[in-house]
Amino acid sequence: MALTLAYVGAAYRGFQANAGVPTVEAAVAEALTRSGLVAAANGGDLKKVGWSKAARTDAGVSAVGNVVGIKLELPREVTVDAGALVVSRLNAALPPDITILGAVRVPGGFSARSCCGGRAYEYLLPVGAVLRGGPPGGREAWPAAVARLNGSLAALTGTLWAHNLTNGVGLPPPPAARRYVTRFEVEPESFLLYMIRKMVAAALLRHAGATPPAVYAAITDPAVRVSVPPAPAAGLLLAGCSYDAYQRRSAAMYAGETKV
């Protein structure tokens, strides 16, 4: 089944399980076994039951539309309304800062990660951050400030080298450091570690006049190393994951509803 979940990330050290620290994945795994949807013997290794996840959010990052795939143990008599049963059981076993929004049956080959065609994030900014960096001697009008910030954000769209927008990538950057960003709301196919938070920080520093234009342009230059700090995790939200292409491919092969 495919599960859509929301969570407040403040209490977790990211989504992916990490021994010794609280994570969203560990909390969901515990709820799966407590609810009887996964055998206790498999709770410590969800790969045994086909576990996959669309996004591995960083520490402190929240979500309203992350997706996981998993094979669940359901009563034989449950056929039509299996999704409602899964949602009810899991939410009863989960902590209050994690909620299952929906559960649907999917074909056996479904992977929440590889079948996902895009991930949409939102970053909440304080008004003061948008109004910084205007013309000296006066307060910039809100529409002008927004237009100016959008200009900075637009420079980080299209096909770009993201080696300066993540950690641990040297020069020359490998092909995996190249990403395509359709628009800065943002909705690319995938992200590198800290990429969104560093994109937001880079654009805000340029917007506030703290980064010279030449340095800002060099961020996506594959021959240049630029140190970019990440913006705070608390403002970042995974808004949703897209499975439109998967839907179109599977529609011709499977009858019934498989929408995620």
Residues carrying an active site annotation: 58
Which residues lie closer than 8 Å to 140 by C-beta, 6 or more apart? 131, 134, 148
φ, ψ of residue 4 to 5 degrees: the values are -100, 130
Q: 188, 178 in Cβ contact below 8 A?
A: no
Q: 24, 238 in Cβ contact below 8 A?
A: no
184: left (phi over 0), alpha (psi -120 to 50) or beta: beta
Task: Report the C-alpha gap between 134 and 41 in whole angstroms.
Answer: 59
Residue where the block lists tokens 């499975």: 243
Whether the CA torsion 199, 14, 94, 1 is positive or negative: it is: positive
Task: Report the C-alpha gap between 169 and 51 in whole angstroms.
Answer: 28
* Chain mean position to CA 64: 10
Task: Report the C-alpha gap between 18 and 127 in whole angstroms.
Answer: 35
Task: Report the C-alpha gap between 65 and 196 in whole angstroms.
Answer: 17
